[in-house]
Amino acid sequence: MEIRRLGRTGLKVSKLCLGAMTFGNKDWGCDEKTSHLIVSQFLDAGGNFIDTADGYAAGVSEEITGRAIAKQRQSVILATKVFAPMGTGPNDKGLSRKHILDAVDGSLRRLGTDYIDLYQVHGFDEQTPVDETLRALDDCVRTGKVRYVGCSNHFAWQLMKAIALSKELGITRYDCLQPQYSLVARAIEREIIPLCIDQGVGVIPYSPLAGGILTGKIRRGESPPKGTRADVNPFGGNFYTEERKLNIAEEVANIAQDIGATPSAVALSWCANQPGITSPIFGARTIEQLQDNLASLQLTLDEETNQRLESASAIPVEYPSDILAMFRRMNND
């Protein structure tokens, strides 16, 4: 598997990252035995990057992940996250100094390791000063519990504020962003991706298959397969029935049929090869799903195919891009 640098850092990660959100999830995930097989086959395929979070299955995902990689810990780049509630107390969540320092010890214990390669804040905490969060993360790095830090689910201004503040304070900065990104969710192309390229921030997007929408298993007017995330719909609302998403999914399925691939492989290959993307995070609850996703590594989308995907999924041009485009046209006249 191709190895890539994580942003400006010297850390090398595989082109695909295995997401462990399914591990131990009783609604739409897999049991520990299957989880271990998935991890083993991913590592055998050349992958070295695994992402989990303390909030996944209330910590069970971290426990399973830790046991699955125990014999190969040094060769695995292990990422986890902090933010979700891990108890009923007022300080058992968020990004306060207290919670981060408590949470990192909890993650280390569940993972069965003495360090975390990449520790990410799972969201932006409006109730905690950014400098408090950054100083706590810096302490995690200085004490050797964490090697690199990153963030997830941030607006561009929130990420840039944190980067600038880290520079001002002379402390560890975010070197990685984990946003949602797929053919049906391309909003980060407007400001976040350009920012990450400019600042040398690695991008490891989650949901490159849009929660299963781009796998070809979600069909208009039909009930989703039992035991899938779409069947449970943790996102709520019309996440799996939105017309635009279904239109894009149908075109992905058509393209897959035309080129002799699966929809999952097409969607994941597209995501992994977009500008600024380091390593898309994919999940699997069966060995078959794992192999389907790994097949994307053997797939090269030609110009015509990429143009079809672009035509089907392009996002509208919004302000100020439309005005700046007008100025460029004027200046070229």
- Partnered with residue 12 across adjacent β-strands are 5
Cα atoms in the Cβ-side hemisphere of radius 13 Å centred on 161: 10
Write out the catalytic residue numbers.
Answer: 56
Q: Return the half-sphere exposure (C-beta side, CA atoms, 13 A cut-off) of residue 331.
A: 6
What's the distance, Cα to Cα, between the start and end of the chain in Å?
47
| Torsion over CA: 298, 275, 206, 217 (sign) | negative
Q: Where are the alpha helices (DSSP H) in the chain?
A: 32-44, 60-69, 97-111, 130-142, 156-169, 192-199, 229-232, 243-259, 263-272, 287-294, 303-313, 321-332
CA 136, 138, 144, 150 torsion-angle sign: positive
CA distance 307 to 133: 42
Nearest to 21 by CA among 52, 49, 44, 67: 52
Q: What are phi and psi of 248, to 5 degrees?
A: -65, -45
Q: Tokens 């190969």 sit at which residue?
A: 72
Distance in angstroms (rounded) separating the CA atoms of residues 202 and 243? 32
Q: How large is the greatest C-alpha to C-alpha distance in the chain, in angstroms?
A: 65
Is the bond preceding residue 275 a cis peptide, omega within 30 degrees? no
* Closest among 95, 83, 98 to 129, alpha carbons compared: 95
**Cα dist from 215 to 118, 181, 245, 284, 317, whole Å:** 29, 15, 12, 12, 27
